Amino acid sequence: MQDMQISEGEPAGLRERKRQRTRETIARVALELFDRQGFQETTIPQIAEAADVSPRTVSAYFPHKEDLAFPDVDAEFDALEARMRDRPAEETAVAALRAWIGSWLEDGDVSAIQRQTRHRVIRADDDLRAYEHRFTLRARQVIAAAIARDLGVPPGDLEPRMAAAATLTVFEVLGEDHETAEPAEALAVVDRALLFIDGGISALR
């Protein structure tokens, strides 16, 4: 039932390719409609018609309407998780996170325009802004575990969890200023954020 992300870049069979294409189409037309008319004002039957599938199929791919605005988030988090887990011993958690953000910004699967549109759509709707928090919570766990490894403490300890939460929040705020995200500039601001986090962590010790 789960999407079972294949590590290999190329797809498996014809069926899986078709499935991904359908999924991508639905998400794409949904994003376009959200951007033009707003999230609340767009109905699932509308999206279904635009994607040339039945409303029931839309719900089959995206159990919640909100998921249509976060179509790749699961795969992205899988990548983040792997990146944090497999990082070399001498690379710190924040450095690995910074590297992941860099590769995320340059991921060819999603165009810069699409990223901006998605960002705009999410910020325009309170529901979506709140829904996004679910993913933030998941990311917190991943980052907290990584920071805990750096500090040599259990992942449940307060410090790594606080640092992880603050880190993500800071990124969130940074994202607010980036309607027009340009990788190089974005990373510069990321570094500024990491300064804040490092300062906070050292103040705790």
Considering CB distances under 5 to 8 angstroms, the limit depending on partner class, which of its own copies, DNA, none binds residue 45? DNA
In terms of phi and psi (left: phi > 0; alpha: psi -120 to 50; beta: otherwise), the region of 122 is alpha
Give the Cα separation of 104 and 129 in Å (integer): 20
Residue type, 196: F
Candidates 53, 82, 99, 166: give the one binding its own copies (CB under 8 A): 166
Give the Cα separation of 73 and 81 in Å (integer): 12
Residue type, 184: A
Considering CB distances under 5 to 8 angstroms, the limit depending on partner class, which of DNA, its own copies, none binds residue 197? its own copies
The contact mask relative to DNA for 42-71 (x = CB under 7 A, - = no) is xxxx-------xxxxx-xxx-xxxx-----
Work out the burial of residue 65: count CB atoms within 10 Å of its CB; fewer than 13 is exposed, 13-18 middle, 19 or more buried. Answer: buried
Q: Could you say which residues in the range 170-199 bind its own copies, by CB under 8 A? A: 170, 172-174, 176-177, 192-193, 195-199
Give the Cα separation of 19 and 24 in Å (integer): 9
Considering CB distances under 5 to 8 angstroms, the limit depending on partner class, which of DNA, its own copies, none binds residue 110? none
CA distances from 5 to 2, 11, 59, 74, 85 (A): 9, 10, 20, 9, 17
Candidates 44, 82, 95, 162: give the one binding its own copies (CB under 8 A): 162
Candidate segments 5-13, 25-33, 114-122, 165-173, binder of its own copies by CB under 8 A: 165-173
The contact mask relative to DNA for 116-155 (x = CB under 7 A, - = no) is ----------------------------------------
CB 17, min distance to its own copies, A: 32
Q: Which residue has the tokens 């860099």?
A: 102
CB-CB contact of 158 with 150 (8 Å):
no
| Residues engaged in binding its own copies (CB under 8 A) | 126, 129-134, 137, 158, 161-163, 165-166, 168-170, 172-174, 176-177, 192-193, 195-204
